[in-house]
Amino acid sequence: MTFECRLGDVEEKMAETDTFDVPDDIAETDDNYQLVISGWYVKIPSLNLYLRAGVMCLWDEDEKVYMPDFDVTVIYGDENELSSYLYYEQDGFVVTVNNWLHGQLDYEEISQLMCEVVVERENEH
């Protein structure tokens, strides 16, 4: 499934979308943490960037498992290079892109950027 919308609307639209059958990916693993990212992503053609929602998980020594700690937005320059992210931040899509661009565009301009949301379900491969 693919749809277009403004970047400022993506998180609300995805909160209303059933993504139960969309597998997550592991972008990075270390002894102390694991970065898990959503199977769906956002393409911003005008910036040539890709965004994924993610969760930073920390190793729990008592439980012997990675436990979710906080949500992040992960920025990529290539939709297929999941281990080679450019930047991640503990914030939403618009704020993260704004910070990544260091003020090149203002918040409202970023919020209004057209993007494509790609949701790849397991049975669609």
Q: Say if residue 1's pLDDT is above 70.
A: yes
The pTM of this model reads 0.89
Write out pLDDT tens, residues 65-113: 999 999 999 999 986 676 689 999 999 999 999 999 998 999 999 999 9
Name which of 66, 68, 51, 52 is nearest 113 in CA terms: 51
Distance CA 95, CA 65 (A): 30
Give per-residue pLDDT as tens, 5-28.
Answer: 999 999 999 989 888 788 899 988
Distances (CA, A) of 64 to 21, 36, 37, 78, 79: 26, 17, 21, 33, 31
Helix residue ranges per DSSP H, the chain: 7-15, 93-100, 107-111
Structure tokens at 8: 């400022």
